[in-house]
Structures are given as structure tokens and as C-alpha cells.
Amino acid sequence: MPLVDMKDMLHHAYRHGYAVGAFDLVSLDFLEGIMMAAEQARAPVILNLVESHFKSIDIELVMPAVEAAATRALVPVAIHLDHSASIDSAVKAINRGCNGVKVDAAHLDFTENTHITKAMVETAHACGVSVEGELGCVPGANGEDAERHPGDICYTSLAEAKAYVERTNVDFLAIAIGTMHGDIKGKPRLDYQRLKQINEKLAIPLVIHGGTGLSDDQYRRLIANGVAKINYFTALSKVAVKKIKENTRTNNACAYTGLLKDINQVVAGEVERCMRMWGSAGRAAEVLAQCGSWTPVEHMIMFNVEGVDKVGADMLMAEGQRVLSAIPGVREVFSGEAMQDNAKYHYTWLVRFCHPKLVDSYQQHPAYAAFNSKLLRTVSNKRVTIDFQTMQARTASVMPGFQEARA
């Protein structure tokens, strides 16, 4: 299962002087193209889901496909929610399978940005999920993505960056040093001096938004100064649109599938070009060997109840389901009742945690703690619990060669 811990992945890139691409996916063609490129280049990759794109792509429907693509991949993959509008939507994304998040708060003043980001970090870290903070403003220039990022550029301040990282405990920092979202007109002027100072002061992986439109030399200098993640979309959108236009000319019947023919191929071509330019190509095996895997945990609780009738027991089960499902990092809850009357335990919850961190942290969640002390414990003293990772997921994650052999 080559879903890996995003923090480990980006620290590997940071230590070894290359950058991992975080490529926005806006359709299954994009997903296929990005994964084809990563496998072709043997590169670690971040599948980037951007909340503003959820108007055109339903995250609930697309996440199973994204997870399936990551799970069957031979290269390390992380799944990131980018530009989340709120902590709540970031939590929903975590519960659906994202293992990195970024909440948009950089447009707010420093104190508010710090406050929101710190709260996001506390919630996400309890789920084992990494957080990208942002300081400064990377505005939109031209093109599809530009209008989602209004405002003027506001460069990241060195003094604020240090205080922000210390107070929030973010894992990575997105900085504003002259890049722009969308299609840049003219030559972007990047403030390398500022970048160098921020990198020396913080020593954590830095992130560039607005990755489209820079020269090979500009990427090289960014990476040499601590950039370990580059967000990239507009160029992928442009190659896809160009291909659709070509298909329109050559596809006389104008069939829908004909218009979309080979979108995955052109997206793959552009993604692979970036991976080779940014130095992530050929790194997959090292990353798999050195990074923690991202494997969910199944937590099973079995118990009997005393002193309540069937209606009371059903209400308890329903309340347990509600409380457990609302804990950040709980992906799914199944409530069950034994089929045999003489079963040793009559009731069960099977809870899927996104990460082993939840094994301890879910018990501290205030809603669960209250439910446990006020309700569950009063009717059920003896409970059996087991935490397990499926053998299939474990085998694939601890033995990267297993995946290779499968290929």
C-alpha cells in the first residue's frame, strides 16, 4: 500500500534536495495521467485535491478512486486537501482519506491565521495527518485558477514566519516570494534572498503555490533553497484544453469520449517533465524504504449490556455510532448485533481509524469521554477491544518488494 506519511515524504525531499509535485486533480483523466507519470518516472507524488474544485468534482465520489489509485500504485503517494475553506471541511477530507491538509487562513491577519492554523494542527496531528501552513499571499494572475486567489502579492515576512511556525507547529510552510496562481504573464521575479533566509531560519520543507510558468533555472534555485513541494495545475489544464481542441478538429463525430481521448496521456507527459526537472524522478524506492506507511487501523469493541432493555440498548448503539463517527480521523463505524443468541458478546462497534494515532487519541475526545463515562460504562463494564491492521495492507506496506513482485 504505497500511501505514505506525507511528512516523511517531504522531509526526504527536503534532506535530499529535490521537490515533490503536488498536482491538482480535477477529473479521473487527471488522476490517471498523474499516476501514469509517477510510475513511469518512479517518483513520489502528491495527489492534490483543491476545495474550490469541488464544485466540478464531487470529493465523496472521487476519493474512493483516488485511494484506489494510490493503493495499487508502485510508487509512494500522499493525498492532500489544498485550500480548505475551514477546519470542518479539512476534517471531512481527513475522514475520507486525505493525509495532508492546508486551511486557507493566510488572507487573515497574523494573529487570526496563527490561531486557526494552530487549531488545525492540533486536530490533524491527533489523526497523524500533516499540516501545511501559509504566510503571505500568492495571488492569481491570469487563467482558470487566478480568480480563486484575489488580491495583491504580500511577501512572507521572515520575522513572522519564525513566530508562526513556532506557535502553530505546522509541518511545512507555503511562502509568498513572487510566484502567482494561474498563468503568469511576463517573467516572474522571485525573491531568492528572502527564501534563503526563511529556509535558514525555519529548516522545514517549504512549499510553492503557483508552480506553473517558471524556468528550469528558477525551479532549481527554489529547490536549492528549501522548497520541497511544488503545487502545479494551470499548465496541466492548458495541455488538457489544447488536446481537447485538437480532438475537436480531428473527431468528426464529435463523440464525447473522442473529445477526451488521450487527456490522461498529455497530463502524464507534463507531470513527468516536472518530475524529471524537480529531481523526484527515480526516488520512489528510497522513499518507500525510508518513510512510514499510511495504513488505517480497525478498532473493534465487543461488549454486553446489563440493566437496559432492547430499546435502551438500541439507543445506546445509535448514540455510540453518532459519537464515534463525529471524532476527527474516524473514517467509518459499523454497529453490529450478534446473529447467535448464545454469542459470548452481543454488541460490537467496528471503527476504522485513519491512522494508529487514533488508538490513543479517540479516548480523549470530549464527546467520547462523556459518552463513555455517562452512558457506556454505566451499562457495560466488561469490554473487549482489539486494534488491527489488515494483513493485506501491512504486507504491502512493510515489504515494498511485494508490490514490485506483483507488477
Q: Which residue has the cell 494508529?
A: 356
Instruction: Considering only residues 202 through 221, tell me which ones interact with ligand 13P, judged by CB under 6 A.
Output: 209-212
Q: Do residues 273 and 232 touch, judged by C-beta distance below 8 A? A: no
Nearer to ligand 13P, 180 or 393 (CB): 180
Check residue 229 for interaction with ligand 13P (CB under 6 A).
no
Give the integer Cα–Cα distance in Å for 117 and 248. Answer: 45
Nearer to ligand 13P, 134 or 303 (CB): 134
Q: How far is the CB of 253 from ligand 13P (least distance, A)?
A: 33
Q: How far is the CB of 133 from ligand 13P (least distance, A)?
A: 14
| Residue 24 bridge partners (DSSP) | 48
Check residue 178 for interaction with ligand 13P (CB under 6 A).
no
82 is catalytic: yes
Parallel, antiparallel, or unpaired for β 77-84 and 227-232?
unpaired
**Contact range with ligand 13P by CB under 6 A, out of 52-60, 71-79, 124-132, 230-238:** 230-238
User: What single-letter amino acid sits at 137?
Assistant: C
Give the integer Cα–Cα distance in Å for 9 and 293. Answer: 10
Q: Which of 8, 24, 29, 82 is catalytic?
A: 82
User: What single-letter amino acid sits at 341?
Assistant: D
Nearer to ligand 13P, 32 or 145 (CB): 145
Question: Smallest Cα–Cα separation from 171: which of 119, 132, 199, 203?
Answer: 132
Check residue 80 for interaction with ligand 13P (CB under 6 A).
no
Give the integer Cα–Cα distance in Å for 376 and 305. Answer: 9
Nearer to ligand 13P, 211 or 320 (CB): 211
User: What single-letter amino acid sits at 126?
Assistant: A
| Residue 207 bridge partners (DSSP) | 174, 229
231, 264, 280, 348: residue in contact with ligand 13P (rule CB under 6 A): 231
Question: Smallest Cα–Cα separation from 222: which of 210, 233, 237?
Answer: 210
Check residue 30 for interaction with ligand 13P (CB under 6 A).
no
Q: How far is the CB of 219 from ligand 13P (least distance, A)?
A: 12
Which residues form the catalytic set? 82
Judged by the rule CB under 6 A, the positions of this chain that interact with ligand 13P are 24, 50, 82-83, 145, 181-182, 209-212, 231-234
